Structures are given as C-alpha cells and as structure tokens.
Amino acid sequence: MQDCIFCKIVNKEIPSTIVYEDENVLAFNDINPVTPVHILVIPKKHIESLAEIKEEDEELIGKIHTTIKKIANQVGILDKGFRVIVNCGEDGGQEVKHLHFHILGGKKLGTKIA
C-alpha cells in the first residue's frame, strides 16, 4: 500500500535493520525498542490488522509463528523466553496499520499485560 510505512520497509524505500527475510515474511528491529530485543515480524503482503485476516491468510499466519521461533533462536532468546504482542485497532493501541508481531525479550518481563 502506497502510504504504509511497513510496505515501504518491505520495498526497501525506508531503511531498517533486517533480521530475517523470505518470500512472504520480513522481520526488522523496532526503531524505538522497549526491551533489549524488540523485533517486528510482518507479512510482506499488506494486511491492515488482525481484524482484517482472512481464511486464505491462515498458512501465512502459521508461517509467521514458525518464523518467530526461528528468529528467537537466531537472536538467542528462545530458551529464556520472550513475549509476542499484536496490537489491534484503536483500543489495542495499534499505530501502524500493517499487521505486525512484536517480539519482546532479552530481559525478564513483568506479568502485567494491560
């Protein structure tokens, strides 16, 4: 999508520090990390949010999860653990309207999630 920051990152029109890339999925460091490891994993296809996922996207969404595991292993947080967050819509605090999965790790996180 033309005005989407994350589509621009996919198309390399905006630079990012890429940690994983394949045909359908891209992962890069969050520009404003809130934990020592803060990676965003996105489908290359523009899907606005979790609320816009369709049945035809099931394979892609599954793939994103195995990719998250691979990335966690790659950056050395798989054994200690990490948190995955998807903000959706206004009440969910979603700022960028391109589906993304936050991987947060590298320190012990609190137990409160809201």
**Active-site residue numbers?**
100
Q: DSSP 3-state assignment of 43?
A: strand
53 part of the interface to Zn ion, by CB under 5 A? no
Q: DSSP 3-state assignment of 8?
A: helix
Per CB under 6 A, the list member of 1, 11, 21, 31 interacting with ligand 5GP is 31
Single-letter amino acid code for the residue at 32? N
From residue 81, give the alpha-carbon distance in Å to each of 60, 69, 75, 78, 109. 23, 10, 11, 5, 10
95 part of the interface to ligand 5GP, by CB under 6 A? yes
If contact means CB under 5 to 8 A according to the sort of partner, which of ligand 5GP, Zn ion, none does residue 98 touch?
Answer: Zn ion
For ligand 5GP, the binding residues (CB under 6 A) are 5, 14, 16, 28-32, 40, 87, 93-96
